Structure 1
Amino acid sequence: MNFIKYIDLLKRELAPALGCTEPIAVAYASAKAKKVLGFMPDKVEVLVSGNILKNGMGVGIPKTKMTGLDIAAALGVIGGNSNAKLEVLKDIEDKHIDEAVQYLKDNNLKIKLKDTKSKLYIEVICKKGQEESKVIIKDEHTNIVYISLNGEVLYEKEEKEENKIEAKVNKEIETSKGNLEISIKEIHNFATKVDFEDIKFLLDGAKMNRRVAKEGIEHEYGLKVGKTFHESIGKGIFADSIESHAIAITAAAVDARMDGCALPVMTTAGSGNQGLTCTLPVVAVFEKLGSSEEQLCRALAISNLVTIHIKSYLGRLSALCGCGVAAAVGSSCGITYLLGGEYEAISYAVKNMVAGLSGMICDGAKQGCALKISTSVSSAIQSAVLATNGIEVSCKDGIIHECVEQTIKNLGNLATVGMVDTDKVILDMMVCK
């Protein structure tokens, strides 16, 4: 087994981000377009796919106490650091925010819906007089596929390269080392046999996300789901249990992130909330059980890789909630490992989770995500407990197949084929309010 490819995959798919990845990707594209132009534009036009619009409408932008793609794009143009990619707004100061607000008031920036088949598409055009720059991001949040200045193409990624980035039904995941076949069995084999030192870097992401959870518990963000649950533990409402602890710290981190917390999170498969959901429940179990750092690290490898595995079928953006149907499944597998489960039990956990949460929709990034994720974390722990007791949902139930890999494929087909119209209906409901 080629462990190096799995390590490379983890390093590629886990990245720090400041703010929700969809508006931050817009900020990144805007900062890049401004840099290509060479000076402050008079007008900026931002064209995005429906899923980018959906995930950028209601989420807080770091340091601003504001929401929306427009303020994200304006900040990217005015004070963004394009070299920092998903941390593009890390150097933003109050003066930049004031300038961005005025820039929007002066009607210098427009957000428009792009008619495109790509679920993740961002096009930014910056203009000043006769000068014009254009930057296009497609399929991944930092995947720039096109750059031009005054009609001259400076960079264009070949179509065949772009297609490699799209999720594939044949389950080949591109890494910097080539294509890698991945499965639940191979994930378990890797995570339990790889040298601890080779995956120790996963602890950095866990610590980063745990800091955001602490911030969410100690301060008031969003709906205060995590903070409220944490303060209710031991008061006759929530027991001081693994489940309560996991729900509280995960929801608190999501509260903070969705409300514009100025701390970075470690993302998984292109999403900060996915990173929080597949990491923090596992950390919570580690804290309560007193597991070793090595056990935690191996559990995190399982959790993150299962999330990446499932997301490769769902695509970067989907009508299904990636946290509920991918990241929480990953965390359930990691928790199953910490509870002593081997490959068979981990497969059971996947089936149990898909049976319970496969219908959870994504209606945009927003404060309410903390509620969905708290529900998902609860299911993750319940599914892990059942799995370690030898209990799995029958293949006679719904989309569950006897083979765990086919169960994941069925989930992917539900999202990419069965829910195409659902995505459109959700967006219509959101923009017509």
Structure 2
Amino acid sequence: MNQEYYLQQLEEELVIALGCTEPVSVAFAAALARKEAGYDDPVESIELQASVNIYKNAMSVFIPGTNDMGAAMAAALGAVGGDPSLDLQVLQSIGEEDIVTARKLCAEGKVSLDLAPRGAPSLYIDVTVRTKDHCGRAVVAWKHDLVMELERDGVQTFLNDTSQVQELTDSITVDDLRDIWDFATTVDVDKLDLVRQTIELNDKIAVEGMLGSYGLEVGRSIAKACRGGKDVPDVECCSLSDYCAAWTAAATDARMVGVSLPVMSNSGSGNQGLTATIPVLSAARFLG
């Protein structure tokens, strides 16, 4: 069992994300394309090609810091005010002026949407940003933050080595459950700072989701049901399974309506990150 291999897997798969990863990855690609086009002139138009799942998952969740949904708005925000150096926290830096500008681009039909070309990966985002004098393009595929290609004015400035994609596929097939168990039970906890950070981030949004009224309030509803349907949620009355479910659902409630709190995503999914950590943390607290 190679501990360094699994520590590297944690580093690669645990990524901080602000908002639902599908619209955020669109914003990330758009911000990269804008960087290629340059910042001297304002954005004139945006062209987005994406896989079906990207559009589906982006259409009904709020973008952090806004009351807006959809891939078009995510692309516009990323192009107008996104910071690509922040990866999946790309929209952390947007302000009210950026939101107004992005809405205007969408309202004026300056953001075009199209499906990814036939044969593209199931996760595929291709964004072209045009300014007065320049054009930038970015392609993100396979993973929400895996940059495959960059262009400026039709000239390729970056092309990813496709061996990264093969390594990603191979790692899924070579992992052994016994090795994973041995790693989990023998690794020096001092090497797991990233896991500690995961617990802190994901726990914070779970608490926010339980205290506030967000979305369908699934988490709060479970906690209320534990008190016989009373108006005030009380997780202390819950069984172990309901306790874990309530906190996990509360975190998802808050995240999917665009609460401006980051989560630690797992394998490209914020909700997977929550479901991989909040039930375990909740069970530990419940059992003392």
TM-score of the aligned structures, taking structure 1 as reference length:
0.62
1:248 corresponds to? 246
Q: Which amino acid aligns with 2:63?
A: I
Alignment length (residue pairs):
280
Most deviating of 89-98 and 265-274: 89-98
1:358 corresponds to? none
Distance 1:236 1:254, change over 3 A: closer
Selected match of 2:213 from 209, 220, 242:
220
Q: Which amino acid aligns with 1:212?
A: I
* Aligned-residue RMSD, C-alpha: 1.8
CA distance in structure 1 between the aligned counterparts of 2:44 and 2:229, rounded to whole angstroms: 59
1:186 corresponds to? 179
Most deviating of 76-85 and 123-132: 123-132
SS class of match (1:280): helix
Runs of 4+ in 1 over 6 A off after TM superposition: none
Matches within 5 A, 1:272-421: 272-290=270-288
* Cα contact 1:45–1:124 (8 A) shared by 2: yes
CA distance in structure 2 between the aligned counterparts of 1:259 and 1:135, rounded to whole angstroms: 27
User: 1:356-401 CA distances to partner (integer Å, 9 max, x unpaired)?
Assistant: xxxxxxxxxxxxxxxxxxxxxxxxxxxxxxxxxxxxxxxxxxxxxx
* Cα contact 2:59–2:71 (8 A) shared by 1: yes
Query: Bigger relative contact order, structure 1 or 2, given CA contacts below 8 A and separation 6+?
Result: 2
Tell me, which stretches of 5 or more residues in structure 2 are unaligned?
none
SS class of match (2:144): coil
SS class of match (2:122): coil
TM-score of the aligned structures, taking structure 2 as reference length:
0.92
Tell me, which stretches of 5 or more residues in structure 1 are unaligned?
174-179, 291-433
* Cα contact 1:49–1:116 (8 A) shared by 2: no
CA distance in structure 1 between the aligned counterparts of 2:21 and 2:31, rounded to whole angstroms: 15
User: 1:236-289 CA distances to partner (integer Å, 9 max, x unpaired)?
Assistant: 799522111111110011011111111000111110000001110001101011
Selected match of 1:210 from 203, 207, 230:
203
2:4 corresponds to? 4
CA distance in structure 1 between the aligned counterparts of 2:68 and 2:91, rounded to whole angstroms: 14
Percent identity, aligned pairs only, is 35
2:83 corresponds to? 81
Selected match of 2:262 from 250, 258, 264:
264
CA distance in structure 2 between the aligned counterparts of 1:116 and 1:283, rounded to whole angstroms: 42
Q: CA deviation at 1:201?
A: 3.2
* Cα contact 2:36–2:135 (8 A) shared by 1: no
User: 1:170-219 CA distances to partner (integer Å, 9 max, x unpaired)?
Assistant: xx35xxxxxx9312111111111111212243121111101101111111
Q: Which amino acid aligns with 2:275?
A: T
CA distance in structure 2 between the aligned counterparts of 1:158 and 1:13, rounded to whole angstroms: 19
